[in-house]
């Protein structure tokens, strides 16, 4: 993939570059440290113990061999010889001991073996074969097998080699390779090997000293005790790590929360809350680690230092370093987040883009705190309201209980249920309020009662004995409400009928006790509507009392209409009779002759008529001016204005009758009839 | 060379979160600044293989990318979203790219070794110096004389100012 890119603008973010440079610096520091010290102390100490162990093993093998050969007294001198050869030639004792062991096993003579070892060193230095191979060959020669000489290029045929004696073979080797070892030891390579041998010797000594030191330090009398002590240390160290594991496990939730918090902290608007949460977690973790550091880890390190100060140095140092770094890191982290928290509290200082973010975070924080306060207030308010509601409910329940068990109140309630008389109801309601210590409400009922009494007295004075408007309206409303309540409740049909019957019964009783219904037009239109509604409901309800109510309402209406019709018929009959008498009287007289001219001095005036045939009386003249004197005198100057109206057909109610009369009269005035001219009636 | 801008990535995040209209406007303005270079660079790409042997042919088993003018022209474009951080720690805010392999070869062939049997035969000279030299995209960029860069920086600056202004209005409204 090609990488042809032109960056127009870029931003330095830096983290990766810094990481790389930090890694490089760390690597450089490590390299420098190793360069200055040479090798790490840990490696030196480890190698020392290892070298000592191997050397010890080889020396023990050689000593055992010498002991078995009956040459145990030569052990110290052999070791001394090997050390000297090692330093002189640079050949390590690791090679010298096996070679010497081979030779001494072969010869059975320690001194002879020492001489042969020197020969082997010369042959090895003069040839390309190592000391172990040469030693084996020499051992074979001592045993009479000279075949191995052929590889050393001595210029002898196989046949010649085969016939060589041991001494001859050894002499040939000495003659060929004598002094080679000494010469070789003076070369640069051999010198380095000799230095190396010295270092290895020092290592072995150091290792021996360490083991001795450990035995001394632990108070171990022998290696077995030291081993046991080290095993005990292992158990102790295991306990320590178990304790660390326990702490981690116990704080696993916190650690997870820490990770979650770290993940969530960078989401918008959660910085402050995140920092606070992290501080809490880190504080707890830090306490745990500090506790661990002060107790279990400290004990473990102390034990480590006493029991195995050097051999377990790397082991212990790593643990110490890890714990120290962890605790130190946590301390630093706590400090950092402490600083961050302080910084978060001072976010008013513009951070990015003129403080837009900072303001936003501050606002979010303030809004969050405000919301917390508001929530708390709302909760408190709700709690108070709930308590108040509960107290009120309790109080009302108590009052109800009191009302139920207080005899007087019970009597009032029962009386209210039993009566529908407005006067009585008002008295009972006033009494009930007085019992409830509600004086204002009681006074209102008393005022209503006074008004009602006044109205009743007024009605009595006016001769009205029927039920008044207000009373009828009141019992109408009571009945309608009761009927509605009965319809809305879930009582059975029988119960509903019984309740309706009782309601109608009380209604009827109230009307009858109040003097019965007056004429319908005595009441307001609303009351009449209510009466009509009650009549319809009563027609629907199949109970006897409802029928009685219907009868009352119908009777009132019918009697009213009949009375009206009878009155109208009487008026009509009277009018007819009067008109007939007038007509008979008129027939008995001669008709006057109307005049056609006439002056101002006497005689009849010529009549004038306006639009619609209406007579005009100029100059203040009257009807008499147009009539003959005879007529005027015979009638005595008076005119009969009585009108007879005959109503035919059926009339529904009083209103219809009145309408017919009015219309008839108006038509008479406008158009006139056979008996009277238009406008003749006053 | 790119110009270093401080806080631009944070600005773009803020725009994206709090003023998407400004973010869109910024992208649009940066794209408008870079498009002329892209169009011109596409024009510098040959419409057919500059060398007869480099043209795409059927049954070719070679791995060397052959020159396809459509792919080469299509590979030239721009990018206005922040890139990943490079080894030096920089993130690109806006860049011009020549993505196709054959286009890149045409772009850069002969930079190091002007001689040989291939690059001298390619039409068009190499413009620019060092790693900022080429035949198409770099040539167009060089001929643009930094106008696009100025326009991009101005777009970022304008967005920053507009965002600040909006922030003030936001603060006032909030108060």
pLDDT digits (tens, 9 = 90+) for A117-135: 888 888 888 888 888 888 8
pLDDT in tens, B12-49: 888 888 888 889 999 999 999 999 999 999 999 999 99
Q: How close, in Å, is residue B65 to chain A by CA atoms?
A: 11
State whether residue B5 sits within 8 Å of chain A by CB.
yes
Q: How close, in Å, is residue B59 to chain A by CA atoms?
A: 23
Reported as a pLDDT band with limits 50, 70 and 90, residue A224 is low
* Average pLDDT over every residue of A517-542: 80
As a whole number of angstroms, the distance between CA A633 and CA A636 comes to 5
Question: Nearest-5° angle of CA B5, CA B6, CA B11?
Answer: 100
Closest CA to A594 of A619, A633, A631: A631
Q: What is the pLDDT of residue A268?
A: 40
A74, two tokens: 């030569």
Reported as a pLDDT band with limits 50, 70 and 90, residue B119 is confident
Q: What is the pLDDT of residue A468?
A: 78
Closest CA to A173 of A204, A216, A142, A217: A142
CB contact under 8 A, A10 and B96: no
State whether residue B100 sits within 8 Å of chain A by CB.
yes
Q: Tell me which of A205-209, A350-354, A489-493 is least confident.
A: A350-354
As a whole number of angstroms, the distance between CA A46 and CA A311 comes to 7
Rounded to a whole number of angstroms, the distance between the first and last alpha carbons of chain B is: 45
As a whole number of angstroms, the distance between CA A72 and CA A77 comes to 10
* Average pLDDT over every residue of B59-87: 89
Chain B (37-76) residues lying within 8 Å, Cβ to Cβ, of chain A: none
Reported as a pLDDT band with limits 50, 70 and 90, residue A313 is very low
Q: What is the pLDDT of residue B32?
A: 94
Average pLDDT of the residues of chain B? 87
Q: What is the dihedral of CA A540, A542, A548, A553, to 10 degrees?
A: 0
As a whole number of angstroms, the distance between CA A564 and CA A519 comes to 11
pLDDT higher than 80, residue A570: yes
Using a CB-CB distance cutoff of 8 angstroms, which residues of chain A are in contact with residue B100?
2
pLDDT in tens, A257-285: 555 555 554 444 444 555 555 556 656 65
pLDDT higher than 80, residue A98: yes
CB contact under 8 A, A14 and B89: yes
| Residue contacts between A and B (CB atoms, under 8 Å) | 124
Q: How close, in Å, is residue A24 to chain B by CA atoms?
A: 14
B119, two tokens: 């690059």
* Average pLDDT over every residue of A498-525: 82
> Contact B62/B55 with Cβ under 8 angstroms?
no
pLDDT in tens, A456-479: 777 666 666 677 778 888 888 888
Q: What is the pLDDT of residue A2?
A: 57
Q: What is the pLDDT of residue A133?
A: 87
> Contact A277/A261 with Cβ under 8 angstroms?
yes
pLDDT higher than 50, residue A350: no
As a whole number of angstroms, the distance between CA A189 and CA A192 comes to 5
Q: What is the largest CA-CA distance in chain B?
A: 73
Q: Nearest-CA residue of chain A relative to B174?
A: A363
Question: Nearest-5° angle of CA A82, CA A88, CA A92?
Answer: 50
Q: Of A182 and B75, which is predicted with more confidence?
A: B75
Question: Nearest-5° angle of CA A428, CA A429, CA A433?
Answer: 115
- Helices and strands of chain A, counted as H and E runs: 25, 3
The answer to whether the Cα torsion of B127, B132, B138, B144 is positive or negative is negative
* Average pLDDT over every residue of A423-428: 82
The set of residues, in sequence order, having a beta carbon less than 8 Å from that of A92 and lying 6+ positions away, is A86, A193, A196, A197, A200
Reported as a pLDDT band with limits 50, 70 and 90, residue B97 is very high
Reported as a pLDDT band with limits 50, 70 and 90, residue A169 is confident
pLDDT higher than 70, residue A503: yes
Using a CB-CB distance cutoff of 8 angstroms, which residues of chain B are in contact with residue A354?
164, 167
State whether residue B172 sits within 8 Å of chain A by CB.
no
Q: Which of A331-335, A550-554, A583-587 holds the top average pLDDT?
A: A583-587
């Amino acid at each position: 993939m090609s990488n042809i890119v032109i960056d127009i603008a870029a931003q330095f973010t830096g983290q990766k570059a810094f990481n790389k440079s930090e890694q490089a610096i760390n690597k450089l520091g490590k390299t420098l440290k190793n360069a200055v010290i040479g090798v790490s102390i840990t490696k030196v100490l480890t190698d020392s113990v290892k070298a000592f162990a191997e050397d010890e093993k080889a020396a023990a093998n050689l000593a055992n061999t010498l002991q078995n050969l009956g040459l145990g007294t030569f052990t110290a001198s052999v070791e001394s010889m090997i050390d000297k050869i090692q330093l002189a030639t640079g050949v390590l004792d690791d090679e010298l001991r096996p070679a010497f062991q081979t030779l001494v096993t072969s010869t059975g003579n320690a001194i002879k073996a020492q001489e042969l070892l020197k020969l082997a060193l010369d042959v090895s230095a003069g040839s390309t074969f190592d000391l172990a191979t040469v030693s084996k060959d020499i051992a074979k020669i001592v045993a009479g097998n000279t075949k191995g000489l052929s590889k050393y290029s001595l210029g002898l045929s196989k046949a010649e080699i085969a016939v060589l004696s041991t001494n001859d073979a050894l002499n040939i080797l000495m003659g060929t390779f004598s002094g080679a070892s000494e010469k070789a030891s003076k070369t640069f390579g051999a010198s380095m090997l000799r230095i190396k041998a010295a270092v290895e010797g020092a290592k072995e000594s150091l290792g021996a000293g360490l083991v001795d030191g450990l035995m001394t330090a632990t108070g171990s009398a022998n290696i077995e005790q030291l081993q046991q002590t080290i095993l005990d240390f292992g158990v102790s160290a295991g306990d320590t790590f178990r304790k660390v594991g326990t702490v981690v496990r116990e704080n696993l939730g916190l650690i997870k929360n820490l990770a979650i918090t770290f993940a969530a902290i960078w989401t918008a608007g959660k910085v402050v809350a995140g920092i606070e949460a992290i501080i809490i977690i880190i504080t707890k973790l830090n306490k745990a680690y500090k506790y661990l550091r002060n107790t279990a880890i400290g004990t473990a390190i102390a034990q480590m230092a006493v029991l195995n100060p050097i051999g377990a140095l790397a082991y212990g140092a790593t643990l110490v370093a890890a714990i120290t770094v962890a605790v130190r890191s946590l301390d630093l982290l706590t400090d950092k987040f402490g600083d961050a928290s302080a910084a978060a509290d001072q976010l008013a200082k513009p951070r990015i883009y003129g403080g837009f973010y900072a303001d936003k975070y501050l606002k979010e924080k303030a809004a969050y705190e405000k919301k917390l306060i508001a929530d708390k207030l709302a909760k408190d308010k709700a709690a108070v309201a709930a308590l108040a509601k509960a107290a009120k409910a309790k109080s009302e329940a108590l009052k109800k209980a009191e009302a139920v068990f207080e005899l007087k109140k019970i009597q009032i309630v029962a009386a209210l249920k039993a009566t529908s008389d407005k006067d009585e109801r008002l008295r009972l309601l006033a009494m009930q309020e007085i019992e409830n210590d509600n004086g204002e409400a009681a006074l209102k009922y008393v005022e209503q009662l006074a008004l009602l009494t006044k109205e009743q007295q007024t009605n009595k004075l006016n001769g009205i004995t029927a039920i008044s408007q207000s009373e009828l309206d009141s019992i109408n409303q009571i009945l309608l409400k009761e009927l509605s309540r009965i319809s809305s409740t879930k009582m059975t049909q029988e119960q509903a009928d019984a309740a309706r019957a009782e309601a109608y019964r009380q209604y009827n009783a109230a009307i009858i006790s109040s003097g019965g219904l007056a004429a319908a037009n005595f009441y307001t239109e609303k009351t009449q509507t209510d009466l009509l509604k009650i009549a319809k409901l009563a027609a629907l309800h199949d109970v006897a009392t409802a029928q009685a109510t219907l009868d009352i309402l119908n009777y009132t209406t019918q009697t009213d209409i009949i009375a009206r019709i009878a009155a109208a018929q009487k008026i009509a009959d009277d009018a007819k009779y009067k008109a007939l008498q007038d007509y008979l009287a008129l027939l008995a007289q001669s008709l006057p002759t109307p005049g056609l001219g006439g002056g101002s001095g006497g005689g009849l005036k010529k009549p004038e008529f306006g639009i619609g045939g209406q007579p005009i009386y100029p100059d203040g003249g009257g009807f008499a001016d147009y009539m003959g004197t005879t007529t005027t005198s015979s009638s005595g100057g008076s005119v009969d204005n009585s009108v007879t109206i005959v109503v035919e057909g059926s009339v529904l109610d009083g209103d219809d009758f009145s309408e017919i009369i009015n219309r008839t009269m108006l038509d008479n005035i406008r158009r006139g009839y056979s008996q009277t001219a238009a406008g003749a009636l006053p | 060379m790119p110009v270093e801008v401080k806080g631009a990535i944070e600005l773009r995040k803020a725009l994206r979160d709090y003023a998407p209209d400004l973010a869109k406007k910024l992208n649009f303005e940066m794209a408008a600044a870079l498009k002329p270079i892209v169009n011109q660079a596409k024009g510098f790409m040959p419409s057919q293989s500059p060398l007869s042997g480099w043209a795409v042919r059927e049954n070719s088993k070679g791995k060397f990318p052959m020159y396809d003018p459509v792919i080469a022209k299509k590979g030239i474009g721009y990018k206005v979203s922040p890139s990943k951080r490079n080894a030096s720690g920089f993130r690109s805010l806006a860049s011009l790219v020549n993505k196709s392999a054959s286009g890149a070869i045409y772009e850069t062939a002969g930079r190091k070794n002007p001689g040989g049997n291939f690059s001298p035969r390619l039409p068009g000279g190499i413009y620019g110096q060092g790693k900022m030299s080429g035949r198409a995209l770099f040539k167009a960029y060089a001929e643009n004389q930094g106008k696009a860069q100025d326009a991009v920086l101005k777009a970022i600056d304008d967005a920053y100012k507009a965002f600040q202004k909006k922030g003030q209005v936001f603060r006032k409204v909030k108060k």
